[in-house]
């Protein structure tokens, strides 16, 4: 992974994914409690204000962050990578974050995997295939295609033993009926926590309440930070 300076407190990084380079943005506050790696959704890259707003708010709360692009986004393609490539990107990003923590003198630092929609789903598939992670944080899990609850994307989640936080909008079409996600979290068991955001859609927007995307992303940092603190093993 190579780096260059970016916004104050952030570094632009380049991550190698099996010979393909993708971009990332890394930030590390002093005395970071853990690192959270964050992947974007299917329709927007790591530079989307929701993504930067969330990671910068997490930095301000004392967590190192690495957000990154999947190869399709880096290449300017619209259609998301197939799972094998997306999982390879996740492994590379997670390893890059671990290496940066080691360089900072924290080789055993907890590394969390998080993502918006597609990015979170691919993180969970990577963990299901053996990628190490302290836990998973889903910023809107795409449980099924809108209007197709029978096409649930949940089989790999049941049986995972790492802590999982589902942050989900009540009006998210990827999780209607809401009871379907309630039931999934119950099946996963006590390692999973579900936090409903009332009146929010898949982008966590609330009808009649206009907010910039960066502010919306930042608003999710407090519950995520509280979950990480509660579920990160003591060093």
Burial label, 219 (beta-carbon count in 10 A; 0-12, 13-18, 19+): middle
Residue 8, pLDDT score: 62
pLDDT bin (cut points 50, 70, 90) of residue 7 is low
226 Cβ contact partners less than 8 Å away, ≥ 6 residues apart: none
E strand segments, the chain: 2-5, 10-17, 20-27, 35-39, 64-68, 111-116, 136-139, 164-169, 192-197
Q: Is the pLDDT of residue 180 over 90?
A: yes
Q: Which of 176, 167, 111, 174 is nearest to 139 (CA)?
A: 167
**Is a pLDDT exceeding 60 seen at residue 5?**
no
23 beta partners = 14
Query: To the nearest 10°, the Cα dihedral for 165, 152, 44, 192?
Result: 0
Quick check: 6 pLDDT over 60? no
pLDDT tops 60 at residue 204:
yes
Tell which residue, 180, 169, 159, 173, has the closest CA to residue 206: 169
User: What SS3 state is found at 3?
Assistant: strand
Indicate which CATH number applies to the domain containing 122: 3.40.50.1820
pLDDT at 229 over 60: yes
87 and 18 in contact (C-beta within 8 Å)? no
Short-list 141, 134, 153, 89, CA closest to 116: 141
Domain encompassing residue 200 = 2-231
Residue 132 in this model has a pLDDT that exceeds 50: yes
Average pLDDT, the chain: 94
Average confidence (pLDDT) over 150-179: 96
Number of separate domains in the chain: 1
Q: What is the pTM of this model?
A: 0.94
Q: For residue range 79-111, list pLDDT tens digits in order.
A: 999 999 999 999 999 999 999 999 999 999 999
Q: What is the pLDDT of residue 9?
A: 82
Say if strands 10-17 and 20-27 run parallel, antiparallel, or are unpaired: antiparallel
Q: Is the pLDDT score of 154 beyond 70?
A: yes
Per-residue pLDDT averaged across 45-50, rounded? 95
For residues 38-60, give the mean pLDDT.
Answer: 96
């Amino acid at each position: 992974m190579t780096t260059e300076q970016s916004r104050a407190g952030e570094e632009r990084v380049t991550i190698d994914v099996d010979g393909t380079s993708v971009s990332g943005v890394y930030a590390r506050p002093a005395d970071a409690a853990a690192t959270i790696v964050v992947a974007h959704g299917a329709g927007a890259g790591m530079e989307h204000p929701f993504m930067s707003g969330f990671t910068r708010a997490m930095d301000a709360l004392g967590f190192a962050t690495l957000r990154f692009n999947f190869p399709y986004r880096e290449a300017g393609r619209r259609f998301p990578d197939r799972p094998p490539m997306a999982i390879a990107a996740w492994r590379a990003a997670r390893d890059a974050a671990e290496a940066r923590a080691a360089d900072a003198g924290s080789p055993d630092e907890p590394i969390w995997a998080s993502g918006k929609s597609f990015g979170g789903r691919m993180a969970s598939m990577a963990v299901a295939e053996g990628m190490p992670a302290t836990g998973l944080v889903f910023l809107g899990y795409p449980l099924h295609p809108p209007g197709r609850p029978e096409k649930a994307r949940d089989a790999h989640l049941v049986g995972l033993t790492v802590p999982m936080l589902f942050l989900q909008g009540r009006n998210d079409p990827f999780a209607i009926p809401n009871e379907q996600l309630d039931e999934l979290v119950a099946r996963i068991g006590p390692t999973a926590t579900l936090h409903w955001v009332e009146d929010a859609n898949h982008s966590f927007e609330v009808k009649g309440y206009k907010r910039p995307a960066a502010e919306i992303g930042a608003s999710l940092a407090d519950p995520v930070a509280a979950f990480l603190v509660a579920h990160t093993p003591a060093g």
